[in-house]
Structure formats: structure tokens, C-alpha cells
A and B are shown apart, each in its own frame.
Chain A
């Protein structure tokens, strides 16, 4: 599967990473190189194989419904690049 530049731009947008036009060809080549190499997995027959999503196939442990967290507003906001009082601030979003 080869990526054209429009696809690379679309993926970059999905990933919210700005791409300089000048960088696009090199990046496209690198990505295609990686994807071409990955294609070898198509050699395998995986019918009837269950996907492994994590080696520990245990069941999820649940926790009790107790409030054990929160009320740490200062710590939550302390690293904010743009803190507006008790809120995080971002450029206004038009809905």
C-alpha cells in the first residue's frame, strides 16, 4: 500500500501534526519505506487466529465505588501553559 501526498496530509491532520510542504516528500518516502517493509505480514495465513491484545489474558479487576481522588485543583492546573483562574484556557472553539 503506497501513500500519496494527499493521504500523508490527511493522516497528519488526523494526528494534528503540522507538516511543512518542503518536508512532505521525504516523509512520504520514509513512511512508504516502512509500510512496504511491513507488507510482509500479508504472506501469512491468519484465518481462524484470534488476535492477541495483550499477553496477560486475565479478566479486568474492578475497584469499589468510593471517591478516592480529586480535590487537587492546584496540582491539576499547575503545569497548564495557559491557566485562566480555575480553568484551562484554549483559543475559542467555534461550534
Chain B
């Protein structure tokens, strides 16, 4: 039995579908020539079309179409060579035209799937129902004035890809893995930067529960959840709520809810959301979107290597385990970093150092790999010093920490601090002799059978040599002396 909510009447399965809105990376907006990037002064990245002035008309941006196609290919999805734009009509101040140009009946991308990796090492295929292009809305600010809301249309008209999953997810973990994988694929493709905190990736969650073996029950939608962690929490909270409703003999109402991360519960949206009648109809200002097959093939041929393919290659080419490979391909930047470090070096050693020391340091300093204080070259240099015996493993870790702190290159640190490994057997032999002489009781105990004390002697020799002695030599010489 997979993830379940234990109710009073027994276990309940959770059925989850995710609708993700991903902002497309492009210079200009979907139908207007205004800029699609942000952080600008309000209402400066707005064209007359974005503000829905009279007589303005949409013209589609080729790159936005390309980005949707690339994403569709990355999702192993069917590409609809002919698709259409529809108007979704509703009134809201951040929607100047009173309609959003979207795709309703004929989206640009159809069925696809992605593989997710779970903690227990298994993989699961999650279906994608569709992907379509649509306009983003502007932003309303409600906290600038006591009785007024302020409207900024910079974001109005930016291209969004709406990606709808099949209701194949069955646990918060799966949902988290799905979002991470989806984000990873889009970041690899360069079609969306996947930043949930900044709003370039937004998730709406559809949740329902059922007794195992039952057909689907009523679902509720939880909107505007802006982190993967919250998505997972919201699913659990909502599923528990629904179980309680069913078990108390109630009937679940289909409604739209919001997640309150402070209290860890979902609540119904304050305004009683009337069932929207969007009156979809084909946008008469646009013609059918027809994709030239040659262009699609060109896009396909130029796709970067995607995470799954890269993982398989890493396992084969570098002999990495599935687990290690997964960790290294999650972000393209990490994978690139690894391949840089692994050039002409022991791949497993590189992988271990990245997954161990580097990731720990990045976590600790709150940085992503693009801002790593230790570059791939620098790490490589450190691993070279380790491999050729200049420093020992323990010393290497110390040097690494200094590299993280100061950004210095390893060779310099080793020289400056005199950390070169001692491989002079004579010096080590002297230290060994001194240690054994200083601990006659332990020597006797060891010879009498307490073999564990070997480690103690090693430790003492290392201490005497400030950690710089070559461990293998220490072991060898100790063994010789102890017999």
C-alpha cells in the first residue's frame, strides 16, 4: 500500500493532479512587442495592446511558440501541428481586455509523460494531459492605498505555458518529485526558469480522496501555492480535510481553496467564487497556428540532452550509480560542473566530493551551484593534489573548507599552510617509534589481542604529524613495528 491517509473508517488513497503555469523565457511577450522581463518600474513594459487600447491587435511571437514546442518535446508529448487560440472572457482589473487569449479546445501540445524518481529508488511515469500557451495577467497591489487597488500591467501579456498533469499522482512526495522534474526539464531546455518564489512557476493542485479500488470522488482545487514544500503540505492538509468530511457523513463540495502555510490548512476562497462562465470562443483576431514540420524537426534536433538521457549516460560513461547520477543531473548547471571536474579524473571520486563536500557547503552558505565559491577547475585541482598524494584525504577536506571561505586555489593553500603530505618513510618511522615508545601499555594490550588499538596508534601518529602523514605509509610502518 502506498501513501494513505488513515481515517476512522480505514485507509484513503489520495488522487492528485497538478496544473502548472510556467512563464516562458523570451525577450518579448506572447502577442506584443513589449519586454517580458521584470524588475522594472510599473507600467513601463506595457504596449497599447497589453493595456487593451481600442483597435489593438495580437501578433504571435515565434520564440514563445518555439519554447512551447521544445517543452512539449521534452515532455515526450504529441505536438499538434495545427492549434488554435480562444478567448477566455471574464472581468478583472488586471485583465485589461476583459478576456485572456488562451487555447481551449485545440492546444499546441497533447499527451505526454515524464518519469519521476522516488526516495525508495523506484521510478513512476506521470501522464501529461496537455500543454497550451496563454497570456499572463497584470498585477494588482492591494496594500498601497486604504481604499484602492493599484494595477501594474508589466506582466500582462507575458507568455505562459499551462501544463496539466493526468491525475496520476498519489502522494505529496510524488507531487514534489513531479514538480522538481518538470522544473528541471524546463530549466534544461531554457524554456522557463522555474522559480516558484518569484512566480515564474505557479502550481494549482487538484486533490481528491477515495477508498482503494473506488472510482474518483469530488475534487477540490488549491490555488496559488508558491513552493514545492507548501504544495506537499497543502496536499496532505487538504486530503485530511476531505477524509474528515466524507467520514462524518458529509458530501464534499467542489470548490476552490487557498493554502494557509502558517496554520497548515486550506480554506475556501473568501469571495464566494461564482462558477465562471468563460464563454470560450476562437479568437477572431488570430488565425490557426500551423507548425511547419521542418521547423519542428529542427527544434527537436537542437534540443539539449535532457535529464533522463544525461542520467543514463552518466551511469554508462562514468560508471556512476543511479542514485549519484540522479543527484548530479537535477540541475543542468550541476551536471555541467560535474563533467568539467570529471574531465581526465576519477569520476566516482569527483561525484563523491560534489555530493558530499560541495553540496554540503552550498547548502550551508545558501548558494546555488552557479554561485559556488569553489569553481569546477578549483575543485579539480584539489582532487589532483589528492590523487597524486600531495595531500591526504583528511587534509583535502580541510583545504576545501578554506577554499569555500576564501575562494583561494588549493595549491596556494597547501603551500601557504605547509599541508603537504609527508611521505618520507624515515620521518614517519620516527613518529611511529616515538608513539609506540610513549604507549607501552597499549602496545602490550595490542600484542595480546586487542586489535582495535591499531586505530588508536594511527590516530596518535597522525596527531604527531599534524595530520599530514600519508595514511597508507603510517599503516604499513605501524604494522611492521607491531608485527
Chain A residues close to B by CB (< 8 Å) = 14, 16, 53-54, 56-73, 75-77, 82, 84, 86-95
How far in angstroms is the closest Cβ of chain A from B270? 6
Determine whether B147 belongs to the interface, using a CB cutoff of 8 Å to chain A: yes
Given contacts A86-B41, A90-B148, 19 further A-B contacts (CB under 8 A): A53-B282, A57-B287, A59-B287, A60-B60, A60-B286, A60-B290, A64-B61, A65-B62, A67-B34, A70-B33, A70-B44, A70-B46, A73-B43, A76-B46, A77-B43, A84-B144, A86-B42, A87-B151, A92-B149
Among listed B24-32, B209-217, B319-327, interface-contacting one: B24-32
Main secondary structure of the interface of B (DSSP, over half): loop
Query: Which chain A residue has the least Cβ–Cβ distance from B31?
Result: A63
8 closest A-B pairs (Cβ-Cβ)? A65-B63, A70-B34, A68-B33, A69-B33, A87-B150, A69-B47, A59-B290, A62-B62
Task: Provide the residues of chain A in CB contact with B45, threshold 8 Å.
Answer: 70-71
Query: Which chain B residue has the least Cβ–Cβ distance from A56?
Result: B287
Query: Which chain A residue has the least Cβ–Cβ distance from B85?
Result: A60
A33 to B43, alpha carbons, bound, how many Å?
Answer: 45
Task: Provide the residues of chain A in CB contact with B63, threshold 8 Å.
Answer: 64-65
10 contacts between A and B (CB under 8 A): A16-B91, A59-B289, A62-B59, A62-B60, A65-B63, A65-B64, A67-B33, A70-B35, A87-B152, A95-B271
Determine whether B444 belongs to the interface, using a CB cutoff of 8 Å to chain A: no
Determine whether B177 belongs to the interface, using a CB cutoff of 8 Å to chain A: no
Determine whether B269 belongs to the interface, using a CB cutoff of 8 Å to chain A: yes
Task: Provide the residues of chain A in CB contact with B32, threshold 8 Å.
Answer: 69
Within 8 A of A (CB), among B262-309: 269-271, 277, 279, 282, 284, 286-290
User: In the complex, are the beta carbons of A66 and B59 less than 8 A apart?
Assistant: no
Task: Provide the residues of chain A in CB contact with B150, threshold 8 Å.
Answer: 84, 87-89
Task: Provide the residues of chain B in CB contact with A76, threshold 8 Å.
Answer: 43, 46, 48, 51, 153
How far in angstroms is the closest Cβ of chain B from A63? 5
Determine whether B141 belongs to the interface, using a CB cutoff of 8 Å to chain A: yes
Determine whether B65 belongs to the interface, using a CB cutoff of 8 Å to chain A: yes
User: In the complex, are the beta carbons of A72 and B47 less than 8 A apart?
Assistant: yes
